[in-house]
Each structure stands twice: as C-alpha cells, then as structure tokens.
Structure 1
C-alpha cells in the first residue's frame, strides 16, 4: 500500500469517527421564545389570574377553570404534537389558550405572538386546527332533535316563554367579513365587502340548533336558506316534525313552523311578518308584533355570539375554508358555555340578554345591545310567497286575534 492509499484510508476513518461521535442537533429557537414556559400566556397570565385574581380570569375567558379543563381534555388527543430534533412542540394547553384568546379578542397573530412567545407562523397553523378539534369534540352541543318528541319540547318552550305555539326555532343569518380570497368576486356581498354567511336556527333558550357556515357572500340572501341542508330536510320531510294540529282554540290543523324575516320566503314551514305594503289594519300589525317580539331570541343569540367572540366583528384574515371553521368553533363554544352549570352566568351574566316580563309582556333590553356588533345582517328583499305559506300565516293571524 503506497502513501496515497494510506492517506485516503486515514481520511476515511477519521470521517467515519466524526460522524459517529458528532453530537445531536441542538434545538434552535430565538431567545424571545425560550421564555415561553415562564413568560408565556399559560404561565404568566392565566396561571396568575387563577391563583391571584379569579374574577379577572372569569372576565377574561368567560369560562370557569373547570370547563377549561374539560375542554382541554377533549381536544388534547386531536392537537397534541411531538418534539423533534429541531423544535419543541407547543403544548395542547398553550394552543387552546391562544386560540380562545384569538376568538375572544380577534387579536392579530403578531399580537398573540408577543403575549404567548409562540411564533406567528405556528399560531397561524394551529389556530384553525384547534378550532376544527373544538367543533369535533363539541358536536353534540349543536344539533337538531331527531324525534317528534324532541321538536315538541322545543315548541313547548317557545309557547311558555314567548307565547308562540308550533314554533320550532327562529332563523337568521349574518355576513362574516373576511380578507379577499383568490376567487374574490364570488364572496362580494351587497355591502361590497367580502364575506361568508353564517345561517343559524335558534331555540327559545338562545342556543343554536343548527348552523351552516361558508356560503359565499355573493349568493342572494334569499337563496342562502334554499341551499342549506335544513331547507332540503324540510322539503323532503326528513326532520320527524310533529304532524299538523290546530292552534289553541282553533280547528284548522297548522304545521310546525320556523320563524324568519323578509330575507326568507314564506312557505309551509317558514313564517315571516307581513311586509309594510301588505299591512291593511290591526290584525296584520298584531301578527307582526307577536312574531317580532319572539324574534329577540335569534337577535340575542347572534348578539351575544359577536359580543363574546370579537373575531366575528372584523375581517378574518384567512381563507374561506379556515374562516368557516373559526366561525363554527365560536357557535359550538357558545352552546357549550350556555349549557354549562359553571360557565352559564359567566358567559351570559344577568342583564346581558333581553328578558320578557311574563305578566306585562314588556321586554327589557340586554346589555349586549349597547355595543356595535359588527356582523352584517342578511339583506331583506321581496320574495315569492307560496300559497300554502300564505294560508298558514292567515291561520296564525287569526289565532293571534283571539
């Protein structure tokens, strides 16, 4: 073996030894992010609030610590990430708290980065993922009845609280503004803003029974309902609604109905007020008064939703698909907190909702109305009312006059 071969062999041996002995790559992270565990949103803010300022904690999250822990346990399996040789994974608790703050405040990702010490790139990735997990784990909190008895219970609540028999929900919608998407013209609404539509059916307790999100804002508002699964289920008679029966004191069988406004077309199962030009006297005015008085439930549901989740009051800076997931997460959290024994009065404290006096019928307005809610209502436009719907409305008008 000559000297050249010996030198080559020696170099090869040294290279192999170096590779075998080299140290594992160190975690690379900016100094600002290294203090996340001690100065981030979990350790520095919420932990201090829980220990030192329980009232401040409740006002910040509108959620009890117990319900936060329940929610964390539910979503953790779906959002847990693993450490790599280059990065330390963000804990499920940090992901959830940052997401809840984003929904509650509408803060930019840059602002969230400063308080959480998590890069805005990571935040932009996990916020939609956490929202998707919230919708999945809280699926049972937003759903329509599947039995006739379930719909009858809802109708009974409307009758007792608002004196509206045969009512199975109030429907309404809002445009949720967003950044211009790639196919922006499809999302340009009547206000010349880019938006997706949130369509919701609400029960007598201000909870959402049904939510449809993502219809492009360009679609005529009267067609939003017609393109929904709820409309198709009504048309196909697959909701297991109770059979028609007479209203109290009447003899003509009447179907169970959803109540809407002029953004929707009158039909067999959708009741709406008379338009201004249709009012001929006191009976129509009385009908409109009774219907509009009961519609405060849907106004309150959307009002509280946008008052508590301020991300809905500004342009959402993500794609339509991610924006839809974010909006749905707000709806599901709304029902989760409304139905919680521990968080119910934190989310909607006394005086925040409209209240009706059962004796005088007078309505006391809730504090949520004191602020501009930001979401755009559906456009009220003339629509073709079917003859069957007209007959149903006439029967309800006669009932209200008795």
Structure 2
C-alpha cells in the first residue's frame, strides 16, 4: 500500500481530472489502480471498461504518466527498437562503436587483455563484442566448462525478463497499435524496476528468483513455473568471424586455468 501511495503522489498531478456539471471525474486513485491491474493481467480494455467504467484512453494516459515520472530514476538509457538483434538499434550502435564500452582489461591474474562483451544464446551471432555458447553437439571438456559459466551469467538476464513477462501483461497477445505497445512496455519496465528497487516481497516473494545452493547448483525460481519467456528465434544464419572464435577460445582456456577456474565447475558438467 505504501508503494501505491508513493506512485499516486507522483502521477496524480498529471492525471487528475475535474468534475463537470454532467458527472463527477474519475479519481486519480482509481485511474492508477485500474492501470496497474491492466499492466499486471493484460485484461482487455473492454472488460476493464465494463468493470470500472474506465476506457482505453485513460489507461494509456496513465501509462504515459507512470513512465514520465519514473523514467529518470528507474529507466535510464533505452533502446527504441524492439525487433530482433539483427534489425535493432543496439546492433547498429555496436557496429559503429557508439556504446562507449570500457577498454579491454587483463583477465584476473593474467596478462591476457580481453574485450568487454555482451552475452547471448545460440540464436545470436558470435562477434568480438558478443559471446555465445559453443554448439551443443560433440562438445569437448573445455567447451562444456565454458558453456556452464556462460549459462550462469545468462541466468541473470533470463530472470530479469522472465519475471517482467510473468508479472506484467506480456504472456498474452497485446492487440494494440505499435506506438501504444511501446507506451505500455515503457510503463511496465519502470514499474518493474521501481518495485524491485523497493524490494517488495509482494512482487518478488522468497524463492521467486533463481538461486544457487551451497553446492553451486541452480535452484529454479518460482517464476519459471508460471511460464518461461520464450527464446528469441534466429532470423537468419550467422557466421562467426575468426577473431570472435579465437576470443571465445581464449575465454575457454582461461576458465580451465588455475586463474579462472572455480572448484565446483567439474561437478556441473
């Protein structure tokens, strides 16, 4: 309830309506409540209008208000294109070296300089700035170790997007125009980050997120039982460059070395 009151105080100046001679205005509290219900359930505008007498325009304006008042604190730096990586603004920026990525640094306890990289699953291209797993067929021992370490890192990403999809209206079809979907997505992202920052147990109860036990085995979070986010499908075949392959091999060798290995990794494959 405390978080709701905080949000209401932020958005009320933007969504408050005045009474007219014909009827009383819908309160800001009710507008926010119904909008949060929509973001959480994906319930149709028709049903919400029938239940609460609040239409699509009001909900969309409240979504815009939520994004406007929260974006500075809870959604700094955005990518406008939500398409696949190959057609995204992110890839364009990576191709043109526009992301201000930190300079290469030595891997811990070595003199091997390594680039900072993004990580992805098998659907993505292998690049010097984007690393993905080795193919799962006919893996040698080192490749299995590398893929294990990469999967631990990707788990963080899967939790972030999986929980967002389960908590907000992204496991159902959103039958709206693209610009309105963008508005809804931005509102949902800011609300998700806000509630995570507040460490709300109602939003993220214990055991909802993936964890590791004392033996470093992953315990799957409850969100995965609610419906796992589908993997991104490959839009076309990708050919990795020789340099990117060599870089991945360097990382593999590092993870097998005394400097980069961890005691439990042999038990994980």
- The TM-score by the shorter chain falls in which range? 0.7 to 0.9
Q: Retained in 2: the 8 A contact 1:213–1:324?
A: no
1:390 is displaced (CA, Å) by 1.9
Residue number among 350, 364, 370 corresponding to 2:225 in the alignment = 370
1:355 and 2:211 correspond? yes
- Paired with 2:29 and 2:241, the residues of 1 have a C-alpha distance of 52
1:387 is displaced (CA, Å) by 3.0
The 1:289–1:324 alpha-carbon spacing in structure 2 relative to 1, beyond 3 Å, is same
1:238 is displaced (CA, Å) by 3.8
Query: Relative contact order: is structure 1 or structure 2 higher (C-alpha 8 Å, sep ≥ 6)?
Result: 2
Alignment of 1:100-249 (within 5 A): 100-116=36-52, 118=53, 122-139=54-71, 140-143=73-76, 210=78, 212=80, 214-215=82-83, 221-224=84-87, 227-228=88-89, 230-249=90-109
Q: Secondary structure at the match of 1:318?
A: coil
Unaligned runs of 5+ in 1: 1-64, 145-209, 216-220
1:336 is displaced (CA, Å) by 0.6
- Paired with 1:143 and 1:395, the residues of 2 have a C-alpha distance of 33
1:293 is displaced (CA, Å) by 2.2
Unaligned runs of 5+ in 2: 258-269
1:276 is displaced (CA, Å) by 3.0
Q: Retained in 2: the 8 A contact 1:265–1:383?
A: yes
Structure 1 residue ranges (4+ consecutive) displaced by more than 6 angstroms after TM superposition? none
Tell me which moved more, 326-335 or 346-355: 326-335
**Match for residue 388 of structure 1?**
243
The 1:280–1:304 alpha-carbon spacing in structure 2 relative to 1, beyond 3 Å, is closer
**Match for residue 262 of structure 2?**
none
- Paired with 1:125 and 1:370, the residues of 2 have a C-alpha distance of 34
Q: Quick check: which one's strand share is greater?
A: 1
- Paired with 1:369 and 1:313, the residues of 2 have a C-alpha distance of 12
Residue number among 264, 267, 279 corresponding to 2:127 in the alignment = 267
**Match for residue 193 of structure 1?**
none
1:233 is displaced (CA, Å) by 3.5
1:94 and 2:27 correspond? no
- Paired with 1:288 and 1:323, the residues of 2 have a C-alpha distance of 35
Q: Figure out how many residues of one structure are paired with residues of the other and give that number.
A: 255
**Match for residue 146 of structure 2?**
287
Q: Retained in 2: the 8 A contact 1:352–1:366?
A: yes
Q: Secondary structure at the match of 1:382?
A: coil
Residue number among 327, 337, 354 corresponding to 2:195 in the alignment = 337
The TM-score normalised by the length of structure 1 is 0.59
- Paired with 2:224 and 2:36, the residues of 1 have a C-alpha distance of 23
**Match for residue 314 of structure 1?**
172
Bigger Rg, which one: 1
The TM-score normalised by the length of structure 2 is 0.86
- Paired with 1:90 and 1:99, the residues of 2 have a C-alpha distance of 13
1:382 is displaced (CA, Å) by 3.1
Q: Secondary structure at the match of 1:70?
A: helix
